Amino acid sequence: MADYRFALEKGGRKVPCPACKRIRFVPYIDTYTGEPVASEVGRCDREDSCGYHLTPSEYFYMTGKNPFSTPRPARKPQTEPEPEQPSFIDTEIMRASMTGYNQNNHCRWLCSVFGEQKAFDLTAVYKIGTSKHWPGSCVFWQIDRDGKIRTGKIMLYDSLTGRRVIKPFPHVNWVHKVMKIEPYTLQQCLFGEHLLSLDGEKPVAIVESEKTAIVASGFIPEYVWLATAGKHNLNTDKLKSLCGRKVTLYPDLMAFDKWKVIADRVPGVTVSDLLERRASEADRAAGLDLVDYLLRENRQTA
Ligand SMILES: [Zn+2]
């Protein structure tokens, strides 16, 4: 659509007509300033009985005034869409979820790995919630560096094995969807991003799954462990936002090549080939991830 500078005022407001004096006159507006062009510039809507219509170009021709003496304001034209801002979830909703841990399968499994005290500490640090969406399910809140909550990912784990429940379907959902918050602009951040400001000096390690970040944090607390919350959620922008930190990626076996390509584009980011080097054929077939490896190593040394 053409971007006309002068237009009949929208919204139905009418003023007295300079010809017939009835309140049926629609003025022309200068869209640069939002002001009427002049009191006599406009159209009377009594087309049959009055018919008064003076356009801006007729007015400028008649008066010799130069409409272009008004500079175009610096603001962006309204036709250009603003960059989309992420939606957020109220902090109180997250707080209300941080309870009921005896019903939370992920937390129960974590207790079997680390003992109750350490499991609850890790759960508190990562602000893991409990969800009623499926009995036993948990919420991995994505809290950005400003402490704003981008969303929560609801997942169900087996409390004995610590594995995701994927049958008869993968048990994954989003808090903003379950709560039917619409419209919602989802812009995911890294899981655990809120921990970056707490530990400004620690190097950063990035894994794929939330569970892996939490468990690795329990075994190797010298790093701030973050998760991409999905194989495909790693990109150069998310890595560039960690600029100035020492960053190591720990991809799952299946994602090594893809993550390497992304890491190579960002200075200061390295990719660990720990799993690539240590994995046996059987491990590869079983889709071994860092959690399995850490559990195995730590049981052997215990
Ligand atoms: Zn009139």
Cα 42 to middle of ligand 1, angstroms: 10
From ligand 1's centre to the CA of 246, what distance in Å? 74
Identify whether 110 is part of a domain: yes
pLDDT of residue 181: 94
Residues 269 and 281 in one domain: yes
Q: Which residues surround ligand 1, an ion (CB under 5 A)?
A: 17, 19-20, 44, 46, 50, 52
Q: Are residues 27 and 52 in the same domain?
A: yes
Residues 6+ apart with CB under 8 A from 144: 150, 189, 193, 194
Residue at 10 is within a domain: yes
Q: How far is the CA of 195 from the centre of ligand 1 (A)?
A: 68
**Ligand 1 center to 261 CA (angstroms):** 70
Helices (H), the chain: 56-63, 91-97, 105-114, 116-125, 175-178, 210-219, 236-240, 256-263, 274-278, 281-286, 290-301
Residue 277 alpha carbon to ligand 1 centre in Å: 86
73 Cα–ligand 1 center, Å: 33
Structural domains counted in the chain: 3
What is the DSSP pairing of strand 172-174 with strand 129-130?
unpaired
Question: 186 alpha carbon to ligand 1 midpoint, in Å?
Answer: 52
Are both 285 and 206 inside the same structural domain?
yes
Give the per-residue pLDDT at 201. Answer: 84
pLDDT tens digits along 97-107:
999 999 999 99
172, 220: one domain: no
How far apart are the C-alpha atoms of 120 and 107, rounded to whole Å?
7
Determine, yes or no, domain membership for 265: yes
Nearest CA-CA partner of 6 in 74, 82, 70: 70
Which pLDDT value is given to residue 282?
85
Query: What does pLDDT average to over the chain?
Result: 89
Residue 123 lies in a domain: yes
Q: For residues 136 and 130, what is the distance between their CA atoms, to the nearest angstrom?
A: 8
State the residue for tokens 């237009």: 7
Q: What sign does the CA torsion over 23, 25, 26, 32 have?
A: negative
Instruction: Please state, in angstroms and rounded to a whole number, the distance separating the CA atoms of residues 136 and 115.
Output: 19
At 18, is the secondary structure helix, strand, or coil? coil
Own/partner contacts of 242-248, CB < 8 Å, gap of 24 or more, are 242/196, 242/204, 242/269, 243/268, 245/196, 245/203, 245/204, 246/203, 246/204, 247/203, 247/204, 247/205, 247/206, 248/203, 248/204, 248/205, 248/206, 248/223, 248/272
Query: Does 73 reside within a domain?
Result: no
**Alpha carbon 68 to chain centroid distance?**
43
Please name the residue that has the structure tokens 């400028």: 60
Quick one: 128 and 226 in the same domain? no
User: Do 56 and 113 fall within a single domain?
Assistant: no
Classify residue 278: in a domain, yes or no: yes
The per-residue pLDDT for 12 is 83
Per-residue model confidence (pLDDT) at position 122: 98
Judge whether 249 and 269 are in contact, CB under 8 Å: yes
Tell me phi and psi for residue 15, to 5 degrees: -125, 170
Residue 74 placed within a domain: no
Q: 91 with 46, same domain?
A: no
Do both 212 and 294 map to the same domain? yes
pLDDT of residue 78: 58
Domain boundary, last residue among 189, 217, 246: 189
Q: Residue 225 sits in which domain range?
A: 192-302
Whole-model pTM: value is: 0.71
User: Is 115 within the bounds of a domain?
Assistant: yes
Rg (CA), the chain: 30
In the predicted model, residues of the chain with pLDDT beneath 50 are: 1, 301-302
